[in-house]
């Protein structure tokens, strides 16, 4: 059975992003084994204080996160786009969990070894901006996540969804989005 990990990168558990993540989880549970990490519920220091020059002890929630990441076949990241990027909480989570010797390392010849190969990912992003802006520039703005982080560690991004104009959405559109995301979960994409 396919194993799916859903990571919610929004710091507010009352956000639209949480409802989107919950919709995906509800759909995925019908056909797959599912675990979730909602970063706002976790206790960890999001600052990598010494870079990679000194080891920083992982909190229990980050050890659990690494265990879930290794376990998963498919990882779904749900987060808002703020200032053309993802929230600081999600960045801190990535800095603290996708560490050398866990997600990657350089061998003694300087060659990159990727330790999370064989995994796939879907990115579900929300934004207050207009759809045209993200149609034109969204994939470029998301290269730090899709290429600089995921592919760098060996994870293959399969799907990227931008949910735009979230401040102006009529109630029916919100319901349609939840239904669409739930169906994504049912298919495990």
Pair 6, 28: CB distance under 8 Å? yes
The predicted model gives 64-73 an average pLDDT of: 98
Q: Smallest Cα–Cα separation from 72: which of 169, 142, 1, 5?
A: 5
Which has the minimum average pLDDT: 137-141, 146-150, 151-155?
137-141
Count of domains for the chain: 1
The predicted model gives 124-144 an average pLDDT of: 76
**Domain limits at 20?**
3-187
| Number of other CB atoms surrounding residue 21 within 10 Å | 27
Rounded CA separation 93/188 (Å): 24
Q: Write the CATH number for 11.
A: 3.40.50.360
pLDDT of residue 84: 85
C-alpha angle 29/33/38, rounded to 5°? 75
Is pLDDT above 90 for 189?
A: yes
Q: How far is CA 109 from the centre of its chain?
A: 31
DSSP labels for 32-98?
Answer: SEEEEEEGGG-------TTTTSS--PPPHHHHHHHHHHHH-SEEEEEEE-BTTB--HHHHHHHHHHS
Rounded CA separation 78/150 (Å): 14
Report the mean per-residue pLDDT for the chain.
94
pLDDT of residue 138: 63
Pair 47, 19: CB distance under 8 Å? no
Is pLDDT above 70 for 128?
A: yes
> What is the Cβ-side half-sphere exposure of residue 103, based on CA atoms within 13 angstroms?
19
Is pLDDT above 80 for 178?
A: yes
Q: Tens digits of per-residue pLDDT, 70-117?
A: 999 999 999 999 988 899 999 999 999 999 999 999 999 999 999 999
pTM, full prediction: 0.95
The predicted model gives 155-173 an average pLDDT of: 90
The predicted model gives 43-50 an average pLDDT of: 97
- The structure tokens 């998301």 sit at 142
């Amino acid at each position: 059975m396919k194993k799916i990990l859903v990571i919610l990168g929004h710091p507010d558990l009352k956000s639209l992003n949480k409802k989107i993540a919950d919709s995906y989880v509800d759909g995925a549970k019908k056909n797959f084994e599912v675990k979730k990490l909602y970063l706002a519920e976790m206790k960890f220091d999001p600052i990598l204080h010494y870079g990679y020059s000194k080891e920083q002890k992982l909190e229990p929630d980050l050890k659990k996160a690494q265990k879930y990441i290794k376990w998963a076949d498919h990882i779904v990241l749900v987060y808002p786009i703020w200032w053309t990027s993802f929230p600081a909480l999600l960045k801190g989570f990535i800095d603290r969990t996708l560490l050398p010797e866990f997600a990657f390392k350089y061998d003694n010849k300087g060659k990159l070894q990727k330790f999370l190969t064989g995994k796939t990912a879907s990115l579900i992003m929300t934004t207050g901006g207009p759809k045209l802006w993200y149609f034109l520039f969204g994939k470029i703005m998301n290269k730090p996540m899709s290429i600089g982080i995921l592919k760098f560690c060996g994870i293959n991004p399969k799907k990227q969804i931008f949910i735009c104009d979230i401040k102006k959405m009529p109630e029916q559109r919100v319901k349609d989005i939840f239904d669409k995301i739930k169906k994504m979960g049912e298919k495990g994409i």
